[in-house]
Copies of this chain bind each other. A is one copy, B any other.
Amino acid sequence: LNQINQAAMALKDSVQDYIESLQNHICSSIEASDGRAKFEEERWAHSSGGGGKTRVIQNGNVFEKGGVNFSAVHGKLPEKMAQKMNTDPTEYFATGVSVVMHPYSPMIPTVHCNYRYFEQYHLDGSIKTAWFGGGADLTPYYPHLEDVKHFHRTHQEACDQIDKSLYPKFKSWCDEYFFLPHRNETRGVGGIFFDYLKEDLTKQFALIQSCGNAFTKAYLPLVEKRRHDLFGENEKRFHRLRRGRYVEFNLVYDRGTLFGLETRGRTESILMSLPPEANWAYNFIPPENSRESELYKYLKPHDWLTIDSI
């Protein structure tokens, strides 16, 4: 048992180190892509223990608003959360990195990724349960099939490095998770999503490293490709209305956001995922055969890697 716990301790530290280095890697790659704005960092402490580094970029050449958050917190699980998780309110440790980037141009998709590790302890300090979770998903406004394919293919390759059975499973899981029942739409074109991976933690750690490292390769080439595409007020108007859907998903359904708010995390770090601007118009439906109406064909689960046209 002691040996197992030592291995577990080593894993916890390695995961936290990796997550922290991933934050650095993503931030420097995004700054290089943007070419103007720099992330500003704020360090914060959680009331129950640990803390994080919130990094926010604003008013860049490309990125209107975005955040790359790292956190490693520990403490006693709040009663309410323990109930939801169907467990006891004992000590826990959680570390993760969370990314949401909102480009100014509606021609460039919004992107999100999150990789996280959670441990819960028995009263004697031994590990009761531990798991990995994470994923990445893309939300375009004026979608291009080849871009969607690139984002998915890059994540497929990252999953395949660990196990060829993973991508199809995580792709479907993503479609289910990032779904707005009240709109009968997926949030965007998906990507991968997984949670509560408890078996073979060494393998799962390799998985989040492979996927975490793939993130900038999956997304930043799309930024390069679309950053000079033209748009006007018409496209921005549609952008703002669709960003409203992003707000709806994050505030009504997103488990990470609700977990953060309920455990009284740092509000500004949790809500940095919200877009800078969002609009709501009553009964907005884009005209048939408009470029805007194209998007709705993409907001359904498709097998992106084999589909030829949409």
Contact = CB atoms under 8 A, between A and B. Distances in A.
B271 A58 contact: no
Interface stretch (A143-151, A274-282, A290-298): A274-282
B282 A279 contact: no
A228 interface: no
A268 interface: yes
A248 B182 CA distance: 17
Interface in A263-278: 264, 267-268, 270-272, 274-278
A252 B244 contact: no
A73 interface: no
A95 to B, nearest CB: 22
A276 B277 CA distance: 11
A182 B247 contact: no
A263 to B, nearest CB: 10
A182 B281 contact: no
Nearest to A275: B280
Number of copies: 2
- Interface size, A (range): 20 to 34
A248 B252 CA distance: 9
A158 B223 CA distance: 58
Contacts of A258: 252
B56 A282 contact: yes
A274 B251 CA distance: 13
Given A183-B267, A261-B252, A267-B183, A276 B281 contact: yes
A283 B247 CA distance: 17
A52 interface: no
Interface in A19-61: 42, 56, 58
A67 B252 contact: no
Given A65-B282, A248-B251, A251-B251, A267 B56 contact: no
A181 B67 CA distance: 23
Lowest 9 CB-CB distances: which A-B pairs, in order?
Answer: A251-B251, A274-B280, A182-B267, A56-B282, A182-B261, A268-B283, A251-B252, A277-B279, A278-B278
